[in-house]
Amino acid sequence: MKALQRASHIWFRPSYVSPWIRAGSPSIRAVHSSISQSAVAHPINVHGPPPKAPVPSPEFTERIERRRKQSELIRQEKDASPAKGAKTSPLRKRFWKDVHVKEVPEGYQVLLDSRPIRTPAKTILTIPRSKPHLAHAIALEWDQLVSAQQALKHHLIPLTSLAARAEDIIEQDSRNETTIRNEILRTLMRYLDTDTLLSWAPEKGPHDVEGDETTAESLRDVQKRTAQPIIGFLTTAVWPGVEIKPVFEADSILPISQPQITKEVIRGWISGLPAYELAGLERAVLASKSLLIGVRLIVEWSEYFRDLQPEGPRTFGIEKAAEVSSLEVRWQTEQWGEVEDTHDVEKEDLRRQLGSAILLVSGEQREKQ
């Protein structure tokens, strides 16, 4: 018995012995235990860069995207259907079945069954005859809505709200009013002194991160090289003889205001724009944070400036305008990485807004107002 107590096992006698135990076997069992040992810390002797982050498989990405779409459909259906026991609102459901474009003597109208779409001022939205693509794009926006309540959200009907903005300007022009025009002019001129295209970074210092190893260009060099063709086009074709300076000097962070004559010329040019071009310029400038990029984009695609457009394929479209307006962000993300669900969302939203401005001003034929 003393020998059993000295063993490394714990012995006990159960109060019940199974009848399956064969005769003559001892009615005691052993519960084994191991002696605890401390962990041994080995020195870290691994050299080289850390391993790359794991990349999700295509099946995982597809499954996540499918779940996102399902969640969006469930949310839309929830918005469209009223809660149980609650009063049914006419905005909770879609009161139209079909959306189609109707051609009228003044242009095109988008009909919800037999009801034409109206602007916030209660006037019928009529698209000019030279813009059938815009009318069909607006019809597609309304065909994708699942409830009338969604029509109150401008981000779900961006082309409709943009065309309504242009029609409001036309309606005020017919009454010799300039309320909207003056509001847009004040907003756009604020961007000139802090224009994204002209806000070049200071010269590279000794402690700055190097750029491309093959060219060793600094951020300021890239910004200057990107901005010069746009500035050259504007100062020769749009505003001949106008001087446009960078906002910051090479060794300073204090902004420099543009010459007064430059401001007067640009202000007069914006004041004389037709309604659709003015509304499109407002959208492009607010999206790109640059008056010069917005002007370059509108001149490239507007039917009003067809005499300034070179023959052949377009050279300044959505991708080019988005790349130029987000040049510094792209430079930083290449150095430090991209924030998921932030930078990628901003990229798509920027392209969506620039594309809506192009759709608004482009046309099949030239119609100067």
**How many angstroms separate the CA atoms of 209 and 223, rounded?**
16
CB 213 within 8 A of CB 222: no
Distance CA 43, CA 40 (A): 10
Predicted confidence at residue 206, as pLDDT, reads 56
The pair phi, psi for residue 115, each rounded to 5°, is -100, 125
Residue 170 pLDDT: 93
Does residue 64 have a pLDDT over 90? no
What is the predicted pLDDT for the residue at 209? 54
Report which of 203, 91, 214 is spatially closest to residue 145, judged by C-alpha positions.
91
330: Cα separation from own chain's centroid: 14
Q: Of 133-147, 164-178, 206-220, which range is least confident? A: 206-220
Question: Domain limits of the chain?
Answer: 94-170, 178-361
Question: Quick one: what percent of the chain has pLDDT higher than 90?
Answer: 40
pLDDT over 80 (residue 319): yes
% of the chain beyond a pLDDT of 70: 80
- In this prediction, residue 216 carries a pLDDT of 66
Average pLDDT over residues 194-203: 87
Q: Any bridge partners for residue 30, and if so which?
A: 11
Q: Are 317 and 358 in contact (CB under 8 A)?
A: yes
Backbone angles phi, psi at 46, to 5 degrees: -90, 135
* Residue 181: CA count within 13 A, CB half-sphere: 22
pLDDT for 88 equals: 52
Give the pLDDT score at 87.
Answer: 55
> Would you call 312 exposed, middle or buried from its count of C-beta atoms within 10 A (0-12, 13-18, 19+)?
exposed
Q: Is the pLDDT of residue 262 over 70?
A: yes
Average confidence (pLDDT) over 229-238 = 94
Return the pLDDT at 365.
58
Residues 72-125: tens digit of each pLDDT: 766 766 665 555 555 555 556 777 888 889 999 989 999 998 889 988 888 899
CATH number of 178-361: 1.10.3580.10
- Which CATH number describes the domain made up of 94-170? 3.30.2180.10
pLDDT above 90: residue 186 = yes
Please check whether residue 110 is in contact with residue 99, taking contact to mean a CB–CB distance below 8 angstroms. Answer: yes
Which residue did the predictor score with more confidence, 247 or 209? 247
Average pLDDT of span 278-294? 95
CA 350 – CA 322 distance, rounded (Å)? 7
Cα-trace Rg, the chain? 34
The more confident residue out of 23 and 89 is 89
pLDDT at 324: 93
How high is the pLDDT of residue 15? 47
Place of tokens 């746009």: 230
pLDDT at 30: 53
